[in-house]
Amino acid sequence: MGAASSVAYKIRPNKAVDRELFLSLLSRLSAHLKVENYKYIGLGGPLLEDFRLLHARLGIRDMDCIEIEENVHKRQKFNKPIESIACIHSSLEDYLAGNDFEKPVVLWLDYTDPRSIQKQIETFSNQVIELPISSIIRITLNANPSSLGKPDAKDLAVNLPGVITSPSGKPTELEWRLERFKERLADYYPADLTPDDMMQRNFGKSLLKALRLAVEKTVLDARDRKAVWALATNYSDGQSMVTATLIVATPDDTQIESILKNWEFTSIPQTPLVLDLPALSTLERLTMESCENPRDKLGYDLPKSDMNQDPFYTFKRFYRVFPHFSRIDI
């Protein structure tokens, strides 16, 4: 569990939207899959907010919270919102290796450290064939391309405006990053990537391509199951992150695809939802929610982030799950 996991949701609105979309997905699947009877396995951080919400919204009571850091584990035992949560002091990989699950699970692999990206993707893809049919598996990955490192300036070609590939023989920084990405991903490296895919705005999609490739390779010979992608997102609250969620289904199951087809937020790794909600005052938010053409009503443009999304379009699409934060004195 990285340090980012302890950052409050009130200063991570895009992550809060991502979590609301996941909860909405589970609610939509619940009538068919009876998700309230599942076991939930996740990394709860010191406050276990995800556990509280999954219990409140879906009725899940069988929950295991895994934490390798001893002090965080102690805080979890103190803060757990319901008694049925089992706080387990272990690494997630050891926990998964040591358990055989008899009933379907909701598993959230919430990673923040990009240095072990290959192992994280491998853990996710392996669960597709190891967990029971009807399990729901979700992963969060750090999508910051600077995590690939930075070369010595003398070893790089001079970057010219509009030039991606250098004729000098020395790599550009994007070419250097692409080689590091290939080394780090190994067998899960998508062959169609270009240096441009190592730019901040494209790096998340590159990671999701690798994740999809890993899952495809893993389930290739599994005749009793298939992976049905349901939700993929890319967002940034200081750190760029991507998520992907799939359902493990039998090959002849068409009901899940039918449910997802009619959900407005269904998304796959190739085309993730970009969550880039603007920071708004209360008055701006009320105006955005109540007006058909808020840009005209406001009379000014809202700033774009480095994800380069239209803030008016993004707010209109996700305003129903955009969190409201307020101070409460106790």
Q: Is the pTM of this model over 0.85?
A: yes
Which domains, from first to last, does the chain contain? 3-149+158-164+172-275 (3.40.50.150), 282-321 (no CATH)
Please check the confidence at residue 139 and state whether its pLDDT lies above 90: yes
Instruction: Give pLDDT tens digits for 294-318.
Output: 999 999 999 888 788 899 999 999 9
Question: What's the confidence (pLDDT) of residue 330?
Answer: 61
Helix (H, G, I), strand (E, B) or coil at 315: helix
Gyration radius (Cα) of the chain, Å: 21
- What's the pLDDT band for 255 if we cut at 50, 70, 90? very high
Summarize the confidence of residues 236-257 as an average pLDDT: 94
d(CA 174, CA 197): 8
Share of the chain above pLDDT 90, in %: 73
The C-alpha torsion from 22 through 201 and 323 to 135, rounded to 10°, is: 10
Residues 6+ apart with CB under 8 A from 241: 15, 18, 140, 141, 142, 143, 204, 234, 235
Q: Quote the CA–CA distance of 132 and 128 in Å, as a whole number.
A: 8
Task: Count the Cβ atoms, other than its own, within 10 Å of residue 218.
Answer: 18
For residues 116 and 203, give the distance between their C-alpha atoms in angstroms, rounded to a whole number: 16
pLDDT reading at 164 higher than 60: no
- Do 184 and 117 contact (CB within 8 A), yes or no? yes
Torsion over CA: 144, 149, 151, 156 (sign): negative
Predicted confidence at residue 329, as pLDDT, reads 62
SS3 of 249, please?
A: strand
Flag whether pLDDT at 192 surpasses 80. Answer: yes
Q: What is the pLDDT of residue 110?
A: 93
Confidence grade of residue 327 (pLDDT, cut at 50, 70, 90): low
Q: Are strands 85-89 and 136-142 parallel, antiparallel or unpaired?
A: unpaired
Count Cβ atoms below 10 Å from residue 15 Cβ, excluding itself: 23
- Phi and psi of 120, rounded to 5°? -65, -45
**Contact in structure between 81 and 57 (CB atoms under 8 Å):** no
Looking at residue 165, its pLDDT comes to 53
Q: Within 10 Å of residue 255's Cβ, how many Cβ atoms?
A: 11
**Least confident segment among 10-14, 25-29, 243-247:** 10-14
Q: How far is 219 from 118, CA to CA, in rounded Å?
A: 17
Q: In angstroms, rounded to a whole number, what is the distance separating the alpha carbons of residues 177 and 329?
A: 48
